[in-house]
Chains A and B, each alone.
Chain A
Amino acid sequence: MMQHKMILRVVSKLLIPFILLFALYVQWHGDFGPGGGFQAGVIFATAFVLYGLIYGLGSLRKVLPAWVTRLFLSLGVLVYSGVGVVCMLMGANFLDYYILSNTPHGGQHLGIMLVEIGVGMTVFAGIVTIFCAFAGRAAADVNPSDTAQEETHP
């Protein structure tokens, strides 16, 4: 895919580290400015989508195998609800973060940070997963003989 697009390849390779860095900035800076887990997850995923668009789906799956995105997809949800369960185990209500630390404010900050990490992981993995599913399907459709048996499995 896109073997001849020299400028795109060079520019995207230069851009991707900065996109990832910006996503991390948005993730950790959500308490003080615009942003948070959702936006950070989308931006983080965008870097991988760009990589997949320029270098092809096969290269993207080498960097980020399917099991990694699936792991992140479920891990994010697990982290979010896990924080809630930990709050309950420590004696507060579900997702009542104040109990997580010595001071109520510290607990709120810690809880919100963990929860945002969970959101970021799930959103990132979700976008990459959906992109790969669509792109993989499109690549399969180039070869129509592949699609013949798809409806046969339960």
Chain B
Amino acid sequence: MNIEIVTSDLLNIATLLIMAVIAIAIARIRNLFAVVMLSGIYSLMGASLYVILDAVDVAFTEAAVGAGASTVLMIGTLALTSSREKVTPNTLNTIKGLAICGLIGIALIYGSLDMPLFGDPSGPINHHVVPRYMNDSMAEIAIPNVVTSVLAGYRGYDTMGETFVIFTAAVGVITLIGRSRRRRKGGKESGGHGS
């Protein structure tokens, strides 16, 4: 029992440390191609962290979207822009940015002091609707994966909104950068590549 807690703590600390190192590397490296790759690895580490926290559904999404799809989209963006970050050395701005980041960090840590401890059974998150979902969803919906019954059943309205968000995002991309190419090419090219 004790060994199990120590192992999971070690895993947590190791994963978070690696994520911190990757974050610092992302901030320092100027080659944007390497930055995109590192952010993919960062997402993968986040997915492993979710697995350690037993949130396999979230881990699944993080690995598929964060490490997979968004990496490809970022590389696609790099093909449109330059793959090297433009640096304008300005010490005053650096100091200002550092001060703002430090202040926000302190404020966030101060805010987190009021939060219940991680996994605290008396925390508000474990009292409101969670016990009801855990205890009654088998009788009400009878789907073994409670995450699915919450997502599509109890919170079906929210999930519909999320689907509309994805729809709107894709429509926005088509309008902004997909259409212009189709117009331009017109009759010249059959079908066209632009979506």
Contact = CB atoms under 8 A, between A and B. Distances in A.
Contacts of A81: 160
Interface in A84-100: 84, 94-95, 97
Given A133-B178, A133-B194, A45 B69 contact: yes
B72 to A, nearest CB: 6
Contact of B142 (A58, A65, A95, A109): A109
Contact of A42 (B69, B76, B153): B69
Interface string A15-54: 0000000000010001111111111001101100100010
A97 to B, nearest CB: 7
A21 B164 CA distance: 26
B24 interface: no
Nearest to A146: B184
Scoring B153, B177, B192, B195 by chain A CB atoms within 10 A of each residue's CB, the highest score goes to B195
Nearest to B170: A126
Nearest to B77: A134
Given A49-B69, A57-B193, A109-B143, A134 B177 contact: yes
Interface footprint category on B:
35 or more
B166 to A, nearest CB: 5
A37 B166 CA distance: 13
A150 B173 CA distance: 15
Contact of A136 (B56, B156, B194): B194
A31 B145 CA distance: 5
Contacts of A58: 193
B80 A42 contact: no
Nearest to A45: B69
Interface in B124-174: 140-145, 147-149, 151-153, 156-157, 159-160, 162-164, 166-167, 169-171, 173-174
A64 to B, nearest CB: 10
A76 B163 contact: yes
Contact of B65 (A42, A73, A119, A150): A42
Given A42-B64, A141-B80, A129 B72 contact: no
B19 to A, nearest CB: 22
A35 B159 contact: no
A73 B145 contact: no
Contacts of B80: 134, 137-138, 141
Contacts of A43: 64
Interface in A128-154: 128-141, 146, 149-150, 153
Interface of B: 56-57, 59-61, 64-65, 68-69, 72-73, 76-77, 79-80, 140-145, 147-149, 151-153, 156-157, 159-160, 162-164, 166-167, 169-171, 173-174, 177-178, 180-181, 183-184, 191-195
14 contacts: A32-B145, A34-B56, A34-B57, A36-B147, A74-B167, A76-B167, A105-B141, A111-B156, A128-B195, A131-B72, A134-B80, A137-B194, A146-B184, A153-B180
Interface of A: 26, 30-39, 42-43, 45-46, 49, 53, 57-58, 61, 65-66, 69-70, 73-74, 76-77, 80-81, 84, 94-95, 97, 105, 108-109, 111-112, 115-116, 118-119, 122-123, 125-141, 146, 149-150, 153
